[in-house]
Amino acid sequence: MSVGWVIHLSRVELESLIKGFVLFFSSMGILVSVLFTFYYKQEVKKLDEQLFTQMRVCSFDLKCPKFQIDFEQIAKQEPYKLYKTPKALKSFYPLSDASYYLAISLENKKYDLLKSKIFTTIVFYYIGVMVVVLLLSLFFAYYSLYPLRQALLLTQEFIKDLLHDFNTPLSSLRINSFMLKSECPNNEKIERFEQAIATIMMLQENLKAYLFEYEQTKQQFHLKEFIEQKVALVEPNYKTITFEIDIPSDVVLEMNINAFSRVCENLLTNAAKYNKKDGKVLIKYDKQTNELIFKDTGKGIKNPHLVFERFYKEQERGVGIGLHIVKKLCDELHIAISLESEVGVGTTFKLQLTKG
C-alpha cells in the first residue's frame, strides 16, 4: 500500500480505511493482550514451582545461599506449601522438635527481580507481535477497502459521464426556452418549464459538488452583493415567498466563491421550497457573532440532527443530498454550520464565517 494511494483517498474512503484498521487492530490487540497476560501468569506460576522445588532441596542440605533459613514456631502454617507474605516467599518443613518449623524464604525484592525479568522478556515479544498485528491490520483494512474503492470509482465515472451528457440537452432546453419566452412573454407554462430546467441544473451542480472537491483558490467579495445575486436567482421560482436581506454593505469575505455559492444556493432554495404559502426568508449577518443567518417560516425539521446525513429527507421531494453537500462544502471552507428548527414554526441555519 503506497503512501500516495492513501493521500488521494476521498474523505469517505479514508474514514472507511481508518475504521477498518481500528476495528481489526483493536480486536486483535485485545486478543493478543489477553493471551500474553495469561502467558505471563503461567510463567510466574512456573517460577513459583521452581523456587518451591529449590526450597525443598534446600531443606535437606541447607546449601542454598540465595534463600534465608530460619526457625519459626508452629502456628497455622502447613508444611510443604508455598506462602506469599508481604515481606518474602516462604515454605515450612517439620523438624524433630515438634514445636518448630524450618522456614526457608526468599526476599520479595529478589522475587520481584525474577518476575521483572520474565515481564521484560514477555513485553519484548509482545511489542514484536503487536508490530506484526499493526502491519496485518493495515493490510486487512486496505484489502477490504479495495473492492469498495473500485466500485465507487466506477460509479463516479458513470455519474461524470452522465453529467457531461446532460450539458447538450440542457443547453438546447435553455435556448429553446429563451426563444419561446421571447415569442410568448408572461406565459405561466413557459415559466414552469424554466423552473424545471433550473431545478435540473441545480441538481447537476449538486452532483458535481458531491463528486469533486473545489480548488482552494480564494477570492474577496462583498457579502451583501453576493447574497443579492443569489436571491435574484431563486426568487423568480418562488413568487409567494418574501426574501429579506439584512446585511451591512461593508462586510467582505475571502474564500472559494464557487463552493460558498453552492452552500448559499442550497440553503436559500430549501428555505423557499419547504416554506409556507406567503412565507418569509430572512438572510441576516450578525457582526457581533460573525454569523450569516438563513431563517425561514417554513414547515420545520423533525430530526435536525439527521439533516446532514447523506440521502436523509423528511419530504417526498428531493433526493436528500443537498444539505449533505452543504455540510461537506462548509467543512472544506472551514465554516462551522449549525441549525435550530421547530416543526410548524421554521428553521434557522447559522454559518460561522471568517471575514477577509
The residues facing 70 across adjacent strands are: 103
Report yes or no on 201 lying in a domain.
no
Are residues 238 and 343 located together in one domain of the fold? yes
Considering 61-65, 113-117, 150-154, 165-169, the range whose residues carry the highest mean pLDDT is 113-117
Asked whether the predicted pLDDT for residue 195 surpasses 90, the reply is: no
Report yes or no on 163 lying in a domain.
no
Q: How far apart are CA 5 and CA 3, in angstroms?
A: 5
Are residues 140 and 219 located together in one domain of the fold? no
Asked whether the predicted pLDDT for residue 127 surpasses 70, the reply is: yes
**213-234: per-residue pLDDT in tens?**
655 678 899 999 999 999 988 8
Report yes or no on 172 lying in a domain.
no
Write down the residue that cell numbers 412565507 correspond to: 279
Among 23-37, 84-98, 137-151, 322-336, name the one with the lowest average pLDDT.
137-151
Query: Which of 145, 161, 185 marks a domain boundary?
Result: 145
The residues facing 280 across adjacent strands are: 242
pLDDT of residue 1: 47
Nearest in space to 281 (alpha carbons), one of 234, 316, 328: 234
Q: How far apart are CA 10 and CA 76, in angstroms?
A: 71
Query: Which of 98, 129, 145 marks a domain boundary?
Result: 145
pLDDT cut 90: percent of the chain above it: 40
Query: Which of 120, 145, 170 marks a domain boundary?
Result: 145
pLDDT of residue 2: 43
Nearest in space to 196 (alpha carbons), one of 212, 223, 216, 176: 176
* Domain count along the chain: 2
Report yes or no on 50 lying in a domain.
yes
Report yes or no on 135 lying in a domain.
yes
- Please list, in sequence order, all residues whose beta carbon lies within 8 angstroms of the beta carbon of residue 314, skipping any fewer than 6 positions away: 301, 302, 303
**254-266: per-residue pLDDT in tens?**
988 888 988 998 8
Q: State which H helix or E strand residue 295 sits in.
A: strand 291-296
CA 30 to chain CA mean position, Å: 22
pLDDT of residue 18: 86
Residue-by-residue DSSP string for 190-246: HHHHHHHHHHHHHHHHHHHHHHSPPP---EEEEHHHHHHHHHHHHGGG-TTSEEEEE
**260-306: per-residue pLDDT in tens?**
988 998 899 889 988 988 899 999 999 889 999 999 998 888 888 88
What 3-state class would DSSP assign to 33? helix
Range of the domain at 318: 215-352
- Region 12-19 average pLDDT: 78
pLDDT of residue 208: 64
Report yes or no on 104 lying in a domain.
yes
Are residues 231 and 116 located together in one domain of the fold? no
Are residues 110 and 220 located together in one domain of the fold? no
Domain CATH number, residue 321: 3.30.565.10
Q: How far apart are CA 239 and CA 200, in angstroms?
A: 19
